[in-house]
């Protein structure tokens, strides 16, 4: 069964063709192709109206690269939220037109659910139940996945996303954007115990996260050092800051996994590419006898393949949207 | 006018009071460095507007929408490279729409902001938890709000 999927929730315009929910035939992401050469314009980095300029070309590219025709497609999947209203609308309108024109079913997918499903593509034998940590520049969620379409949102950030904290601390340290990979690299040669930054755990039983206070603590530390004219060792600050974030992410993930008797913790989102996080999760996993899984880098970012996987599993479970499908900007996982 | 806030509790009291004063169509601009407390203040303003969701940072998403007693549009233009990108977001539909617009890093898009607005500049004080808020109202509606805030 072939699914054509569209993802336009934020910066990336992406279209993919997926076979049986697990096999990627094509996965085109706008920011990765040479748009200047190809379309003679500027790459649509930001939002809504610019998705319009590229969506049709990217749909065609996804079809071509998959070496299929529109008539071969059985199902349309599209991100319905959360995200920017205008940006989402471009994807939904395109998806509806395709579904209507080809007379095939359409399924609106939750973007966060998509991140979870990226792992079904990467790990062909992965089946629920498992515990899932979704961490990126825009999202921080802890989810218990009970079935292919049965998600329980257990924790989320109350202020900054984990990846956002990395980017903002990197900026304060004078490092280029995106800051996550650079901090990760610097942290390898820094002393993670050199500065004592807070680990914000919130209420004892809470699975929510808060990274805004940590960000401010790092900024205050840097200001004080500068005022006193003392040297700042960037590697040490990076390592200490990163450790504060990781301690909280790892601790809460394992606490949930143990509470629910999960044998697997699955990671998703851009921060799942962080080497420090992967190493720490895997070391703790060995101790606790819990398997740690994460997708390859391309499937960690926003992409349509993961939306196609989610659409497929929803369809198999009897879920279906119709032509009245609409965007839901603030969609929680239940929506 | 200028006020001093010490700690989260005073910030919450001030934010809620300001939130209570806001109406449909109001434009509220927040300026201040990273970690000054723009999102924290927005959370408190949200409480005054009856928003029950967690108000989270809009840096990545650029705009977050919330449902309070009226819609609340929470912008963060920190990530924007140039003002043209704001046109691509359809910002005017928000600024002149049916809700309240709260804009972080508003000074970056000064030229595109409606002339009448209230501007809060947040500066860090001497103590770690102290903040100075400098409030300026442009236009009668916002001068009134500033006066209300000054009352106690």
pLDDT in tens, B63-87: 888 989 999 999 998 877 777 777 7
| Cβ neighbours around A127 below 10 Å, total | 11
Q: Please identify every stretch of chain B with a pLDDT value under 50, giving residue numbers as ranges.
A: none
Cβ within 8 Å of residue A148, ≥6 positions away: A128, A313, A314, A316, A317
Are B60 and A164 within 8 A, CB to CB? yes
Round to whole Å and give the CA distance between B71 and B101.
9
Give the model confidence (pLDDT) of A196-208 as tens digits: 999 999 999 999 9
User: Does some domain include residue A122?
Assistant: no
Pairing between β-strand A264-268 and β-strand A130-135 as defined by DSSP bridges: parallel
Round to whole Å and give the CA distance between A252 and A207.
6
Q: Which residue in chain A is spatially nearest to B81 when comparing CA positions? A: A46
User: Does some domain include residue A121?
Assistant: no
Among candidates B37, B65, B89 on the partner chain, residue whose Cβ is nearest the Cβ of A47:
B89
- My answer on whether A273 and A138 are in the same domain is yes
User: Does some domain include residue A151?
Assistant: yes
H or E, element range at A76:
strand A75-81
Rounded to the nearest angstrom, the minimum Cα separation between A9 and chain B is 9
Mutate to test the interface with A, among B88, B122, B123, B131 (most CBs of A within 10 A): B88
- My answer on whether A143 and A101 are in the same domain is no
- My answer on whether A38 and A86 are in the same domain is yes
Are A158 and B56 within 8 A, CB to CB? yes
**Domains in chain B, number:** 1
Give the neighbor-by-neighbor strand order of the sheet with A291-293: A150-156, A140-147, A130-135, A264-268, A291-293
Rounded to the nearest angstrom, the minimum Cα separation between B68 and chain A is 13
Task: Give yes or no for a cis peptide into B71 (omega within 30° of 0).
Answer: no
3-state secondary structure of B4: strand
CATH label of the domain that carries residue A289: 3.30.420.40
Instruction: Give me the helix-helix angle, B38-48 and B7-21, nearest 10°.
Output: 50
- My answer on whether A161 and A249 are in the same domain is yes
User: Does some domain include residue A331?
Assistant: no
Closest Cα partner for A167 from A143, A189, A183, A144?
A183
User: Does some domain include residue A123?
Assistant: no
Rounded to the nearest angstrom, the minimum Cα separation between B56 and chain A is 4
Is B128 within 8 Å of B136 (Cβ atoms)?
A: no
Per-residue pLDDT at A39: 40
Round to whole Å and give the CA distance between A41 and A60.
17
| Cβ neighbours around B9 below 10 Å, total | 11
Mutate to test the interface with B, among A10, A81, A85 (most CBs of B within 10 A): A85
Are A156 and B53 within 8 A, CB to CB? no
Q: Please identify every stretch of chain A with a pLDDT value under 70, giving residue numbers as ranges.
A: 31-49, 330-335
Mutate to test the interface with B, among A53, A90, A136, A159 (most CBs of B within 10 A): A159
H or E, element range at B140:
helix B140-150
Q: Which residues of B touch A216 (CB under 8 A)?
A: 35, 37
Task: Give yes or no for a cis peptide into A129 (omega within 30° of 0).
Answer: yes
- My answer on whether A172 and A289 are in the same domain is yes
Is A220 within 8 Å of A175 (Cβ atoms)?
A: no
ipTM surpasses 0.90:
no
Rounded to the nearest angstrom, the minimum Cα separation between B83 and chain A is 12
- My answer on whether A212 and A195 are in the same domain is yes
Mutate to test the interface with B, among A330, A334, A335 (most CBs of B within 10 A): A330
**Domains in chain A, number:** 2
Is A134 within 8 Å of A118 (Cβ atoms)?
A: no
Among candidates A46, A136, A164 on the partner chain, residue whose Cβ is nearest the Cβ of B85:
A46
Task: Note down the domain range covering A179.
Answer: 128-294
3-state secondary structure A151-199: EEEEEEECCCCHHHHHHHHHHHCCCCCCHHHHHHHHHHCCCCCCCCCCC
Give the neighbor-by-neighbor strand order of the sheet with A2-7: A23-29, A14-19, A2-7, A75-81, A106-110
User: Does some domain include residue A323?
Assistant: no
- My answer on whether A216 and A86 are in the same domain is no
Per-residue pLDDT at A31: 64
User: Does some domain include residue A333?
Assistant: no
Per-residue pLDDT at B128: 82
CATH label of the domain that carries residue B53: 3.40.50.300
Residue B74 C-beta-side C-alpha neighbours within 13 Å:
28
Q: Which residue in chain A is spatially nearest to B124 when comparing CA positions? A: A220
User: Does some domain include residue A335?
Assistant: no
- My answer on whether A306 and A179 are in the same domain is no
Find tokens 């434009």 and name the residue.
Answer: B27
- My answer on whether A64 and A78 are in the same domain is yes
Q: Which residues of B touch A45 (CB under 8 A)?
A: 85
Query: Do you know the residue count of chain A?
Result: 335
Are A160 and B89 within 8 A, CB to CB? no
Is A269 within 8 Å of A300 (Cβ atoms)?
A: yes
- My answer on whether A88 and A177 are in the same domain is no
- My answer on whether A174 and A268 are in the same domain is yes
Are B90 and A329 within 8 A, CB to CB? no
Rounded to the nearest angstrom, the minimum Cα separation between A47 and chain B is 6
Does residue A85 belong to the interface with chain B, where contact is any CB pair within 8 Å? yes
**Chain A to chain B Cβ contacts (< 8 Å):** 77
Task: Note down the domain range covering B113.
Answer: 2-150
H or E, element range at A312:
helix A304-316
- My answer on whether A24 and A169 are in the same domain is no
DSSP letter, residue B54: P
């Amino acid at each position: 069964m072939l699914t054509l999927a569209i993802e336009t929730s934020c910066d990336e315009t992406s279209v993919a063709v997926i076979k049986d929910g697990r096999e990627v035939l094509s996965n085109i992401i706008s920011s990765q192709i040479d748009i200047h050469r190809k379309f003679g314009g500027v790459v649509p980095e930001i939002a809504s109206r610019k998705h319009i300029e590229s969506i049709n070309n990217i749909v065609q590219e996804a079809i071509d690269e998959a070496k299929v025709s529109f008539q071969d497609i059985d199902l349309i999947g599209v991100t319905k939220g959360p995200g920017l209203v205008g940006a989402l609308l471009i994807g939904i309108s395109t998806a509806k037109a395709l579904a209507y024109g080809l007379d095939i079913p359409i399924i609106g997918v939750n973007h966060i659910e998509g991140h979870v499903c990226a792992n079904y593509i990467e790990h062909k034998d992965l089946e629920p139940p498992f515990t899932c940590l979704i961490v990126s520049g825009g999202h921080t969620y802890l989810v218990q996945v009970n079935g292919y379409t049965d998600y329980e949102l257990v924790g989320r950030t109350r202020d900054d996303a984990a990846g956002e904290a990395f980017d903002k601390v990197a900026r304060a340290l004078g490092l280029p954007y995106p800051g996550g990979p650079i901090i990760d690299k610097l942290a390898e040669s820094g002393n993670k115990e050199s500065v004592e930054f807070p680990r914000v755990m919130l209420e004892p039983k809470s699975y929510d996260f808060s990274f805004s206070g940590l960000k401010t603590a790092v900024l205050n530390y840097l200001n004080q050092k500068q005022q006193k004219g003392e040297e700042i060792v960037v590697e040490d600050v990076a390592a200490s800051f990163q450790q504060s974030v990781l301690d909280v992410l790892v601790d809460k993930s394992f606490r949930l996994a143990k509470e629910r008797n999960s044998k697997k913790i699955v990671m998703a989102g851009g921060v799942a590419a962080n080497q420090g996080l992967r190493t720490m999760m895997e070391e703790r996993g060995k101790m606790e006898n819990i398997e740690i899984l994460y997708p390859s880098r391309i499937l960690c970012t926003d992409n349509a393949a993961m939306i196609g996987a989610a659409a497929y599993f929803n369809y198999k479970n009897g879920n279906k949207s119709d032509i009245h499908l609409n965007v839901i900007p603030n969609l929680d996982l239940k929506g | 006018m200028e006020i001093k806030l010490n700690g989260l509790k005073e910030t919450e009291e001030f934010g809620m009071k300001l939130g209570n004063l806001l109406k449909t169509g109001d434009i509220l601009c927040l300026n201040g460095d990273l970690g000054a407390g723009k999102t924290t203040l927005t959370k408190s303003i949200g409480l005054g507007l009856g928003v029950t969701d967690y108000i989270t940072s809009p840096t990545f998403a650029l705009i977050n929408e919330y449902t309070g007693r009226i819609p609340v549009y929470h912008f963060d233009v920190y990530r924007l490279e140039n003002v043209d990108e704001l046109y691509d977001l359809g910002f005017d539909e928000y600024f002149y729409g049916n809700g309240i617009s709260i804009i972080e890093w508003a000074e970056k898009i000064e030229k595109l902001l409606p002339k009448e607005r209230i501007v809060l500049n947040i500066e860090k004080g001497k103590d770690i938890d102290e903040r100075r808020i400098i409030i300026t109202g442009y236009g009668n509606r916002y001068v009134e709000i500033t006066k209300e805030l000054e009352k106690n």
